[in-house]
Structure 1
Amino acid sequence: MATVPPRWVVLSSGLLLVVLIRGYVQAQNILINPMIGKGSHFYVSAAIGEELIHRGYNVTFLLGGAFYDQARNSRYGDMFHWEVFQHPIPRKTVHDMFTNLTKLILGGGFQQEMKIMTELMTARVNDCTALLEDKYLIGRLRSANFSAVLYDMTWVCGAMVGELLNLPTFVVYPYPNPCLVTSSQGSHFHPAYVPSFMTPYSNQMKFNERVVNSLLYILGALIGHYYYAPYIGLTKRFNVSEPMLLMANSKLWLVNTDNVGEFPCALAPNVIPVGGLTTRSPEKLPSDVDEFIQGSNDDGIIICSFGSFLILDQNSLRLIRVFSEAFDRLPQRVIWLLKEHPPFPIPANIKILPWLPQNDILGHRKTRALFFHGGQNSYYEAIYHGVPVVVMPVYGDQKDVGARVVNQKLGLKLDKDLLTAEILYDALHEVTTNITYTKRAKEMSFAFRDREMKPAERASFWIDYAIKHGTHHLEIPLRRLNFFQYYLIDVILFVLLFVILTLYISFKCLMLVRSFICNCHIKSKLD
C-alpha cells in the first residue's frame, strides 16, 4: 500500500513550485544583437549574456543566418534563446565576402582600408534592411516582452530595433580608445593627450604628433558621419531617429577597455569600462594539445593566433613561409591557428590547429609568449594571464592595440610590410628571453585581476542596475544643450558685450570728467 506523504511536505512542495514558476515568469528578458554574430563581436556579447543568465535573466540573441550554426554549436548553444534574421544574399556569399576582405586587408594601404570599410557598410545596411523588413520576426520580438536591447556599437541596426520595440538600449563598444565615440555622453576626448584612432602615438606626444593627432581627430569626426550616413534612408523609412541620435540616446555604454592596458581619459558616469570581457580562468585542454605543450619541457610554447585574418592563399603564402621559417629556429614549440596546412613541410616544433582554446592555452604555465594581430580580446587575455606579446597589426583598431603594447612595455610591434623571418625570430627571441617583458606582463596581470568583479560580471551588474534604477542620475545632460549653449557662445557673447559696455561707459565717464576739468581750468583762467 502506497504511503501518503505528510501534509506539510505537500504544502512545502507546492509553495516551492509556485515560487519557482513565479520567478521564471517574472524573470527579465534581454535581447542581445551582436552585429551579425561573427567572431570577436559575438564572443564579447556572449560573455555578458552568460553573466546575465547567472543573475536570473532570460537572454535571447538576434544574429544573422550565416553565422547562426557557428554560434549554436558553441558552448553557448543551449545557454541562450535564438532569433535569426536572413541575409539578402546566400550564406556562402556572406562567408566568401569575409574571405575576400581578408585578402584585401593583407594587401594594405589606406585606399584598401577605405574600400573594405565601404564594402562592410554596404553589406551591413543590406542586412539591416532585411532584418527590419521581416515583419514576422519584429512581431515575435515585440511579443517577447523584452526589458532592454544590448547591441554592438558597429551595428546601428541594433539601436533601430530598440527604438522600434520602444525599449532602452545599451551599447557594447568592442574597440580601444573609447573617449571619442562616447563624447556624445560627455566623455572628454582631448587630442593633446588622447591618441586618435589608428595612430601609433601614446598619451605623451611631441609637437608634430599632436598636430597630426588633432587633424586625425577632426577627420575621425567626419568619418563617423560618413559611416552612419547609409542608414539615414532606413531611419526615415521606418520612422526612427537618425543614426547619430540613436547612438547618443543609448542609456549605458559598456566599453571593452581597462585603464591597466588603455590610455586613460575622462569617461562619463554611464560609460563603464569592462575591458577583458572574454578573460576567464583556464579550463582543461584537449588531450592532444596538452600532450604537445607538456612535451616542450622547460622551453615552453608560443601561441600564434591571427584569427580569421590569416588564411591560406596566394596573398598570404609569403607571410606563412616567413612565420614557418622563424618558428623553426625557436627552441619553443609553437601552437599556430591556421585553417589549412600549408603546401610545404612544417617543422616538428609546430602544431597547426583550425581552432584553438586560446584563453586556456594562455593560462598554461608553459606559455611563454603570444604572437598575434592586435585583436582587443587577445590583448586583454594576454594581460589577464600575464603573457608578453609580439604584435603585428593588420587592419583598423589593431594599430591602436599595437601602440598600447609598446607603450605598456608588454612586448614588441612588427610591421607586416617589412617582415622577414629574421625580424620575427629576433622579436620572439627577445620577448621570451628578456625577463623585463615577462615581469611587466605579471605586473599588469596582478593589477588587472585585483578587482572584486570580473569584467563580464561588472557589465552584467550595470545592466541589471540600469534596468532596476534607470540611468538618469548617471547621464550628463549634454543632449539638452544646443550648439551655442554647449560651447558657451551665448555666455561668451554676453561677457564680451558686458565688457564692451563697461569700457564704453567708463570711457564716456572719463571724457565727461576730462571735459569738466578742462572747463573748470579755462574758467579759472578767465576769472
Structure 2
Amino acid sequence: MKMCKEAVSNKKLITKLQESSFDILLADAIGPCGELLAEILKVPLVYSLRFSPGFSIEKYSGGLSLPPSYVPVIMSELSDQMTFVEREMEEFVQSSGENGIVVFTLGSMITNMTEERANTIASALAQIPQKVLWRYSGKKPDTLGPNTRLYDWIPQNDLLGHPKTKAFITHGGTNGIYEAIYHGIPMVGIPLFADQPDNIAHMKAKGTAVSLDFEKMSTRDLLNALNEVINNPSYKENVMWLSTIQHDQPMKPLDRAVFWIEFVMRHKGAKHLRPAAHDFTWYQYHSLDVIGFLLACVATAAFVITKCYLFCYRKFLKTGKKKRE
C-alpha cells in the first residue's frame, strides 16, 4: 500500500504516464493501485489475476454478485530460456530412471525457513526413490539426501511438464495449481497464507492433492503424503481428468487473453459489459426502494381491509339495533 501511495502521489510519474497515452492498464487484484491508476489515467482496466478469499477485490470492484451457492469464498517464475547450468538440471532429471522426479517449491516469497523445518522436510525427501528438485535458498539441511538438489530458482512450468515428474510439492499458489492441472501432476499441498489454503482445499476435494500443515507436519507425514499421491493411481487419474477438461477449449488461453484485452481496447473499456450495479444508488443496489414500495402496498391493503371491515361491522350493528327496536 505504501508503494501504491508513492506511485499515485508522484506527480512526475503520473504526468509521464498521461503523456504516454496508454490504451489500457493491466493489473492484478491484490490491491487497489491498478484501479487508482486507471482512474487517474482515464484508461480501461483489465485484471489479470484471480486472488483469494478475503482479497476478492476484483469481484467487489467489478460490481459482481457473490452468491455463496456457486462463488467460493501466486506464484511462480516461468521461463523457457534455460542456461547451461539449468540444462544440467535436465541431466539430473534424466538420471532418475523409472522412479521419476518430484518438484518442490513454496513460491517466490518463501526462500528460507528454520533449520528444524528444513531438516524435517529433507529427511522425508531422502526416503523416497524419486529424485527431488527443491527450490530453497537457505542453509543446506543436515538431513539432505543424495536424491535431492537445492536450487535458487527452478523452471517450474517446464519441470511440471516433464514426462518424468511424478508429484508436485506446492504452497498452493494459483499459477502453480493451474500448471499442475494442465500437466496432470498430483500435488502435496503445504499452504502458507492468503488464497493458498483455499486453493489446496479445492484440490483435495477433487482428489488431486493431499494437504499438510507446514508448522505441524512431521517427517512421517510428508513421507506418507508423497507415497500416497505417487503410488495411489486415483490421484493421477483425477488430475488427468481435470487436465482434460482444462485442455478442452475452443481456443488457446493466450489467444483468448489477447482477444479480450484488445476487445476492451477497441470498445473503449467495454462499458456495455459492466454490471448495472455501477449505475444504481446504494438503496437501489440493495432493492430498498422495491422493498419500501411493497411494504407501502401491504400497508395500504391492510388499511383498506381494516376500514372496510370496520364499516361493515358498524353497519351490521346499526342494522341489528333497528331490528330490535
TM-score (norm 1): 0.56
Is contact 2:76-2:156 (8 Å) kept?
no
Aligned to 2:164: 366
Is contact 1:180-1:187 (8 Å) kept?
no
Q: How does 1:101-500 map to 2 (within 5 A)?
A: 124-125=1-2, 127-176=3-52, 181-191=58-68, 194-196=71-73, 286-312=86-112, 315-340=113-138, 342=140, 344=142, 346-470=144-268, 471-500=270-299
Would you say 1:522 and 2:321 are equivalent positions?
Answer: yes
Indicate how the Cα distance of structure 1 residues 521 and 135 shifts in structure 2: closer, same or farther if over 3 A, else same: closer
Q: Among residues 302, 309, 315, which one is paired with 1:503 in the alignment?
A: 302
Secondary structure of 2:108's counterpart equals helix
Hey, what's the Cα distance between the residues in 1 that align with 2:283 and 2:45?
28
Indicate how the Cα distance of structure 1 residues 345 and 427 shifts in structure 2: closer, same or farther if over 3 A, else same: closer
Structure 2 residue runs of 5 or longer lacking an equivalent are none
Is contact 1:406-1:413 (8 Å) kept?
yes
Cα shift at 1:169? 2.3
Hey, what's the Cα distance between the residues in 2 that align with 1:130 and 1:511?
71
Is contact 2:119-2:144 (8 Å) kept?
no
Is contact 1:371-1:391 (8 Å) kept?
yes
Hey, what's the Cα distance between the residues in 2 that align with 1:491 and 1:439?
51
Hey, what's the Cα distance between the residues in 2 that align with 1:176 and 1:128?
20
Aligned partner letter, 2:87:
S
Indicate how the Cα distance of structure 1 residues 137 and 194 shifts in structure 2: closer, same or farther if over 3 A, else same: closer
Cα shift at 1:472? 2.1
Hey, what's the Cα distance between the residues in 2 that align with 1:413 and 1:342?
25
Indicate how the Cα distance of structure 1 residues 192 and 445 shifts in structure 2: closer, same or farther if over 3 A, else same: closer
Cα shift at 1:152? 2.3
Aligned partner letter, 1:183:
Y
Secondary structure of 2:102's counterpart equals strand
Hey, what's the Cα distance between the residues in 2 that align with 1:521 and 1:467?
81
Secondary structure of 2:47's counterpart equals strand
Secondary structure of 1:500's counterpart equals helix
Cα shift at 1:353? 1.4
Indicate how the Cα distance of structure 1 residues 343 and 277 shifts in structure 2: closer, same or farther if over 3 A, else same: closer
Cα shift at 1:187? 2.3
Cα shift at 1:510? 2.1
Indicate how the Cα distance of structure 1 residues 434 and 364 shifts in structure 2: closer, same or farther if over 3 A, else same: same
Secondary structure of 1:520's counterpart equals helix
Is contact 2:210-2:229 (8 Å) kept?
yes
Aligned partner letter, 2:185:
V
Paired residues, number = 321
Deviations 1:339-389 (CA, angstroms, capped at 9, x unpaired) = 245153632111211111110111111100000111111111000100000
Secondary structure of 1:187's counterpart equals coil
Is contact 1:278-1:377 (8 Å) kept?
no
Secondary structure of 1:473's counterpart equals helix
Hey, what's the Cα distance between the residues in 2 that align with 1:159 and 1:169?
7
Hey, what's the Cα distance between the residues in 2 that align with 1:453 and 1:279?
22
Hey, what's the Cα distance between the residues in 2 that align with 1:131 and 1:284?
34
Deviations 1:433-485 (CA, angstroms, capped at 9, x unpaired) = 00000000110001001112333332221111111124222111212222221
Hey, what's the Cα distance between the residues in 2 that align with 1:152 and 1:364?
29
Deviations 1:479-502 (CA, angstroms, capped at 9, x unpaired) = 222222122222212211221221
Is contact 2:123-2:219 (8 Å) kept?
yes
Query: What fraction of aligned residue pairs are identical, expressed as a percent?
Result: 30
Aligned partner letter, 1:131:
A
Deviates most, 147-156 or 422-431: 147-156
Cα shift at 1:136? 3.6
Indicate how the Cα distance of structure 1 residues 496 and 351 shifts in structure 2: closer, same or farther if over 3 A, else same: same
Aligned partner letter, 1:405:
M
TM-score (norm 2): 0.89
Cα shift at 1:418? 1.2
Aligned partner letter, 2:324:
K
